[in-house]
């Protein structure tokens, strides 16, 4: 099939690239000329494992193209995907201005038998509005469907190619048949493709993300309780997770969730409920707990030093909101960096992928951007861990201790065994576990 994918952000680029790898003729469209030219040269604007290789191969083999000229592509396209951003507005609702602009732009060029698919994460009722807009602009009823994405940053290629399920919101058999054909190569393992109304598909996306966010906020609230009562959250988590009704996924304590999806989607769902005169008490609480949890290391460091960090060197491991991405949107590290800058600390940071994004935000307010994790703790008064990159999990503790000014670690991801850090002479604060601190004995 000939596909046009409008938007080359995270969702659009992954979607277009993967569909081209399945043999489709795909053109990705974006208004940003520099981004488009960069993609033609193999410059990928986001970090996602495996994506660069996939883009370059399919581009070189002619199945994947990039352009700013939508009017040249839309008339020949069987399917047009809308995959533009829907950022959070000041009210907490999704900003759909980019979606409406795309609808206006493509309407004059759509074939009568083309299918427009909304891939962007949008509030319930958006697809119906797209349908009505296209009807008004074209003078006919256009085919319009929803196909929400369920991609995790860091494993998006596998999530696309081996989905748990494919959710499609359709109005007629024509749309259903096209979506069935498009996704057939992905469903050979027997995983289902679920057809439902566009409204149900839109709500499914938000509801799924909101429930996963709820699990994260819940386990973090229990972790904070564990610290107060002397329990070990890892034992509690294991005791819970073996209950098949609960499971282990998203049941890891830490610094909360960040990124482009969970914070925005939880707030958008709450905003939708507000607009319908409902009271989204759970969603508001999930967001509140998460915002509080992101500052967990800030509170621990502030308490340990009595708020006096002027001139102290803090080494930071991890800046992205999770491993295998360079995304720092709503990352817990941002809370810590702002605090340390305010307190006049000397800051040295390391992250395998997110350094450039942090540098764009903070510039020389951060003293040292380090080429490896050991450089970041050279002469440091303490180490703070925000992201659970694999390269941080098994350090040489003797080397770590010899390079640091003081053997103090604040770990927001519970990477280390309490007995190991105690044996090696470290003061160690983690999440939901009793601190290892000689001052407390």
Rounded to an integer, what distance in angstroms lies between the CA atom of residue 396 and that of residue 376? 14
Beta strands in 171-228 (DSSP E): 193-196
Cα–Cα distance for residue pair 1/302, rounded to 1 Å: 58
Tell me which of 18, 28, 261, 370 is the catalytic residue.
Answer: 261
Question: Which segments of 276-314 does DSSP mark as H helices, in order?
Answer: 281-294, 296-305
Structure tokens at 269: 């769902």
φ/ψ (deg, to 5) at 376: -70, -25
Asked whether the CA dihedral 362, 365, 369, 373 is positive or negative, the reply is: negative
Q: Please report the DSSP string for 6-44 in residue order.
A: E--SHHHHHHHHHHHHTT-EEEEE-S-HHHHHHHHTT--
Task: Look at the block and give the residue holding tokens 């009210």.
Answer: 91
**Closest by Cα among 359, 364, 400 to 382:** 400
Name the residue with tokens 């002479």.
425
Radius of gyration for the chain, computed over Cα atoms and rounded to the nearest angstrom: 24
**Catalytic residue check, 28:** no
Q: What is the DSSP letter of 436?
A: B
3-class state of residue 336 by DSSP? helix
User: Token digits for 5?
Assistant: 């994918």
Q: How buried is residue 438: exposed, middle or buried, by Cβ count under 10 Å (0-12/13-18/19+)?
A: exposed
**CA angle, corner 264, sides to 153 and 43, nearest 5?**
40
* Residues that constitute the known binding site for NAD(+): 30, 35, 86, 121, 153, 264, 329
**Which H or E run contains 229?**
helix 198-229
| Residues with active-site annotation | 261
């Amino acid at each position: 099939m000939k596909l046009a994918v409008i938007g080359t952000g995270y969702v659009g680029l992954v979607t277009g690239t993967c569909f081209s790898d399945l043999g489709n003729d795909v053109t990705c469209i974006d208004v940003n000329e520099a981004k488009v030219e960069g993609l033609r040269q193999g410059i990928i604007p986001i970090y996602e494992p495996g994506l660069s290789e996939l883009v370059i191969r399919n581009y070189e083999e002619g199945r994947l193209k990039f352009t700013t000229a939508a009017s040249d592509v839309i008339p020949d396209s069987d399917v047009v995907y809308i995959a533009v951003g829907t950022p959070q507005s000041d009210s907490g609702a999704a900003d759909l201005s980019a979606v409406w602009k795309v609808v206006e732009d493509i309407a004059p060029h759509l074939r009568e038998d083309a299918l427009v698919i909304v891939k962007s994460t949008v509030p319930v009722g958006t697809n119906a509005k797209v349908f009505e807009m296209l009807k008004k602009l074209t003078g006919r009823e256009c085919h319009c469907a929803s196909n929400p994405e369920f991609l995790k940053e860091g494993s998006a290629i596998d999530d696309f190619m081996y989905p748990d399920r494919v959710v499609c919101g359709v109005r007629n058999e024509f749309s259903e048949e096209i979506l069935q054909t498009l996704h057939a190569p992905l469903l050979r393992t027997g995983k289902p493709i679920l057809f439902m109304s566009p409204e149900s598909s839109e709500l499914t996306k938000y509801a799924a993300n909101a429930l996963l966010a709820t699990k994260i906020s819940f386990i973090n609230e229990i972790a904070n309780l564990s610290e107060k009562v002397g329990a070990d959250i890892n034992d509690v988590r294991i005791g819970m997770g073996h209950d098949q009704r609960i499971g282990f996924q998203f049941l890891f304590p830490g610094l909360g969730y960040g990124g482009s999806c969970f914070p925005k989607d939880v707030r958008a769902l709450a905003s939708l409920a507000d607009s319908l005169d409902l009271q989204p008490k759970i969603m508001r609480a999930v967001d509140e707990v998460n915002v509080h949890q992101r500052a967990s290391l800030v509170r621990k460091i502030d308490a340990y030093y009595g708020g006096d960090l002027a001139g102290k060197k803090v080494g930071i491991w991890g800046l992205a909101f999770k491993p295998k991405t360079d995304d720092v949107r709503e990352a817990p590290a941002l809370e810590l960096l702002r605090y340390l800058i305010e307190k006049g600390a000397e800051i040295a940071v390391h992250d395998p992928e997110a350094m450039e994004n942090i540098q764009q935000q903070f510039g020389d307010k951060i003293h040292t951007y380090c080429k490896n994790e050991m450089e970041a703790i050279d002469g440091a008064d303490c180490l703070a861990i925000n992201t659970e990159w694999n390269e941080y999990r098994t350090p040489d503790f003797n080397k770590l201790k010899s390079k640091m000014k003081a053997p103090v670690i604040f770990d927001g991801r519970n990477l280390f065994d309490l007995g190991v850090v105690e044996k090696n002479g470290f003061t160690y604060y983690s999440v939901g576990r009793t601190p290892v601190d000689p001052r407390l004995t």
